[in-house]
């Protein structure tokens, strides 16, 4: 019987310590997803996970590298193209995030698709369904770029690392690429067959003036996948056969362009390859 007050005292101290630790570590809210409007974009007037008492304090917010994409968006987005976006939050403890793609006026741009482990709020914000504990923790989803003429897209992301008591965020400005999905030709149209192409592709076009030029295949994000040697072209109706065997091109959409020795694009055509 004499041990009871002592045990009660220990329990009381433990409870006080527990409350004290919670007070020192306020980044514990919303384990099932951030509330809508916490990515830091213009639609929410820059509000992040620190707003509205969700997490805090705001002074712990730091700029970090959260967003990576595949293919790369370094040269801008291709209208209508699909990009895989990965959000990475480092540190210890429970972690979560929110992401959005917005115009400078706060309108959502592009289309978001997510796996079952994530959720989309109001067709514009992506967040977790349950807090993650990995170090680092990553989440991946798809974004389909908006139509041509949509202008610069802002990527906004905010992440939290509860035990580190830190809020991290990143903002990226993604312009529209100079390679357009609907851009067929700069000086004249080019005919391509068969489509989709497998072992070869045949080309026919009207060359407006003699030029030294070469054909090139570009990936959907504008990177060179294959180049053929320069050749001297005469003006008039021309045809060309390009051998695709041995190029190791993955099935999908590419751009074929005719580039002169001054680096000017004479022709550009979207093609589909199914090896």
Domain layout of the chain by residue ranges: 25-174, 190-273
Backbone Cα Rg of the chain: 27
Q: What is the mean pLDDT of residues 84-88?
A: 94
* pLDDT per position as a tens digit, 170-228: 999 999 876 543 333 344 568 899 999 999 999 998 887 788 889 999 888 778 899 99
Mean pLDDT of the chain: 80
pLDDT in tens, 132-156: 988 899 999 999 999 878 999 999 9
Q: Smallest Cα–Cα separation from 125: which of 151, 152, 87, 90? A: 87
Contact 172, 41 (CB under 8 A): no
Which class in CATH covers the domain with range 25-174?
Answer: mainly beta
Higher-confidence residue of 241 and 22: namely: 241
In contact, 90 and 161? CB cutoff 8 Å: yes
pTM as predicted: 0.58
Name, in order, each residue with C-beta under 8 angstroms of 75's C-beta and a sequence gap of 6 or more. Answer: 177, 178, 221, 222
Secondary structure class of 22 (helix, strand, coil) = helix
Q: Can you read off the two tokens belonging to residue 27?
A: 């980044």
Check whether domain 190-273 has CATH 1.10.3720.10, yes or no: no
User: Smallest Cα–Cα separation from 183: which of 156, 157, 222?
Assistant: 222
| pLDDT beyond 80 at 54 | no
Same fold, 25-174 and 190-273: yes
| Contact assessment for residue 153 and residue 79, using Cβ atoms and an 8 Å cutoff | no
The pLDDT of residue 152 is 96
pLDDT(258) > 70: yes
The CA-atom distances, in angstroms, between 34 and each of 30, 84, 129, 159, 190 are 6, 21, 9, 10, 49
| Distance separating alpha carbons of residues 25 and 50, to the nearest angstrom | 13
Please, which residues bridge with residue 249 across strands? none
Q: Which residues contact 18 (CB under 8 A, 6 or more apart)?
A: none
Token digits of residue 190: 């080019």
Q: State residue 93's pLDDT score.
A: 83
Q: How many CB atoms lie within 10 A of CB 235?
A: 11
Tell me what pLDDT residue 179 has.
54
């Amino acid at each position: 019987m004499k041990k009871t007050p002592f045990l009660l005292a220990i329990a009381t101290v433990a409870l006080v310590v527990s409350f004290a630790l919670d007070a020192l570590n306020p980044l514990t809210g919303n384990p099932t997803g951030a509330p809508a409007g916490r990515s830091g974009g213009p639609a929410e007037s820059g509000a992040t996970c620190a707003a509205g008492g969700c997490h805090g304090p705001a002074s712990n917010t730091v700029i970090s590298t959260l967003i990576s994409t595949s293919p790369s968006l370094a040269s801008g987005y291709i209208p209508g193209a699909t990009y895989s976006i990965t959000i990475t939050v480092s540190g210890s403890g429970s972690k979560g995030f929110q992401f959005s793609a917005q115009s400078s006026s706060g309108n959502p741009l592009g289309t978001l698709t997510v796996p079952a482990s994530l959720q989309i709020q109001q067709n514009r914000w992506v967040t977790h369904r349950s807090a993650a504990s990995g170090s680092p923790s990553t989440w991946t989803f798809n974004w389909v770029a908006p139509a041509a003429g949509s202008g610069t897209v802002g990527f906004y992301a905010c992440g939290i690392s509860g035990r580190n008591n830190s809020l991290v965020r990143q903002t990226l400005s993604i312009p529209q690429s100079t390679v357009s999905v609907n851009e067929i030709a700069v000086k004249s149209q080019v005919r391509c067959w068969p489509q989709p192409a497998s072992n070869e592709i045949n080309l026919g076009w009207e060359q407006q003036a003699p030029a030294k030029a070469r054909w090139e295949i570009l990936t959907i994000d504008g990177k060179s996948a294959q180049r053929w040697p320069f050749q001297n072209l005469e003006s008039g109706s021309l045809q060309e056969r390009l051998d695709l065997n041995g190029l190791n091109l993955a099935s999908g959409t590419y751009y074929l362009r005719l580039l002169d020795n001054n680096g000017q694009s004479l022709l550009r055509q979207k093609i589909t390859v199914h090896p």
